[in-house]
């Protein structure tokens, strides 16, 4: 085991201790706060009723828990080295990402299902580098931007440095940007809170506005911290909240290990 990996594990162990202390404090605090703010198992339904009372709607939420991993990725990647293999496009390398424009825009055959066209592009080595590592992500995609997220041990990356983002104009694919997590290492395993608990935590942090709807709640990797030339990622519940009055969507992030709210300055798109 090299020194860099040992150093990363020490950082993660320190963070895990913080999570344990946070959870211990939260459980103690649950005993003294009001019923609607309690996260004890017996009062979950009360909290969910309070959420509905604030005119906040949501779909079916799973109460299933699981296990997840801290992972690390090098800040360097080999995308730039593979640019020469790409054909029929104008390519540049900016901020650790490929930025490309197709010489001949590609028509989307069915705009309601762009993946029917784009899957073939992503799997073509002359058009996309390491495309087999990515999968279409309907939740993050819009009419003007179709997103493919990199899968790391089956979990998608909800940060732009692990995504392919296709630019769509008038039904044509004009180009894309691509980032990739390279040299990924598993650092430590930890229990993950449930999808239901993540939404309850978000409500308790007053980050669920009244008269809104929870559009989706997905588990994905987002950035936690940087250590030397590596970035540590953590399983995160990413929650899309839509204002019923304005139609605007905000993305909230909940640490899937501790339930703590995460920095909103890190954009997922």
Residues 220 and 195 in one domain: yes
Domain co-membership, 43 together with 94: no
Per the domain annotation, does 2 fall within a domain?
A: no
Asked which of 125, 153, 181 is the last residue of a domain, the reply is 181
The chain-wide mean pLDDT, for the chain, equals: 86
Establish if 207 belongs to a structural domain.
yes
Is residue 160 located within the same domain as residue 129? yes
Last residue of one domain, picked from the residues 145, 164, 181? 181
Range of the domain at 200: 39-71+184-255
**Quick one: 163 and 96 in the same domain?**
yes
Whether 57 and 190 share a structural domain: yes
Note whether 93 and 51 are same-domain residues.
no
Residue 265 belongs to a domain = no
Q: Specify the pLDDT at position 49.
A: 87
Taking only the tens place, the pLDDT of each residue in 125-169 is: 999 999 999 999 999 999 999 999 999 999 999 999 999 999 999
pLDDT higher than 60, residue 238:
yes
Which residues neighbour 71 within 8 Å (Cβ) at sequence distance 6 or greater? 152, 153, 181, 184, 185, 186, 187, 221, 232, 233
What tokens were used for 106?
């590609």
At residue 252, does pLDDT exceed 80? yes
Over the stretch 119-136, which tens digit does the pLDDT of each residue have? 999 999 999 999 999 999
End-to-end CA distance of the chain: 35
The residue with greater pLDDT, 144 or 265, is 144
Average pLDDT over residues 11-32: 50
Domains: count for the chain: 2
Tell me, yes or no, whether 262 lies in a domain.
Answer: no
**Per-residue pLDDT reduced to its tens digit, 169-189:** 999 999 999 999 998 999 889
Of the candidates 181, 207, 234, which is a domain's last residue? 181
Instruction: Calculate helix-pair angle for 44-53, 195-204, nearest 10 degrees.
Output: 60
CATH number of the domain at 205, please: 2.40.128.690
Are 155 and 65 in a shared domain? Answer: no
Residues 101 and 225 in one domain: no
155 and 222 fall within a common domain? no
Please report whether residue 8 resides in a domain. Answer: no
- Bridge pairing between strands 66-74 and 145-152: unpaired
**Does residue 85 fall inside a structural domain?**
yes
CATH number of the domain that 96 lies in? Answer: 3.30.310.160
Q: In the structure, what pLDDT confidence band is assigned to residue 45 with cuts at 50, 70 and 90?
A: confident
Residue 64 included in any domain:
yes
Question: Would 27 be classed as within a structural domain?
Answer: no
Whether residues 95 and 48 fall in one domain: no
Q: Is the pLDDT of residue 195 over 70?
A: yes
């Amino acid at each position: 085991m090299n020194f860099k990996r040992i150093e990363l594990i020490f950082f993660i162990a320190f963070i895990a201790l913080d999570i344990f202390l946070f959870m211990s404090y939260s459980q103690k605090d649950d005993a003294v706060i009001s019923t609607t703010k309690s996260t004890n198992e017996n009062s979950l339904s009360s909290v969910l009723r309070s959420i509905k009372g604030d005119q906040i709607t949501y779909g079916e939420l799973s109460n299933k828990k699981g296990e997840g991993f801290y992972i690390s990725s090098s800040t360097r990647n080999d995308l730039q080295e593979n640019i020469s293999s790409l054909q029929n496009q104008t390519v540049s390398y900016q901020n650790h990402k490929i930025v490309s424009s197709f010489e001949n825009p590609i028509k989307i055959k069915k705009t309601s299902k762009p993946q029917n066209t784009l899957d073939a592009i992503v799997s073509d080595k002359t058009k996309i580098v390491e495309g087999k590592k990515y999968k279409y992500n309907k939740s993050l995609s819009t009419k003007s931007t179709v997103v493919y997220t990199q899968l790391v041990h089956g979990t998608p990356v909800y940060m732009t440095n692990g995504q392919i983002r296709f630019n769509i104009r008038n039904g044509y694919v004009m180009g894309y940007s691509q980032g990739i997590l390279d040299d990924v290492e598993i650092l430590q395993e930890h229990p993950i809170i449930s999808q239901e608990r993540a939404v309850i935590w978000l409500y308790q942090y007053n980050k669920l506005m009244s008269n809104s709807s929870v559009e989706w709640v997905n588990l994905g990797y987002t950035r936690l911290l940087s250590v030397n030339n590596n970035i540590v990622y953590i399983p995160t519940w990413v929650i899309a909240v839509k204002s019923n009055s304005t139609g605007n969507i905000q993305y909230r992030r909940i640490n899937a290990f501790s339930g703590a709210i995460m920095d909103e300055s890190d954009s997922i798109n």
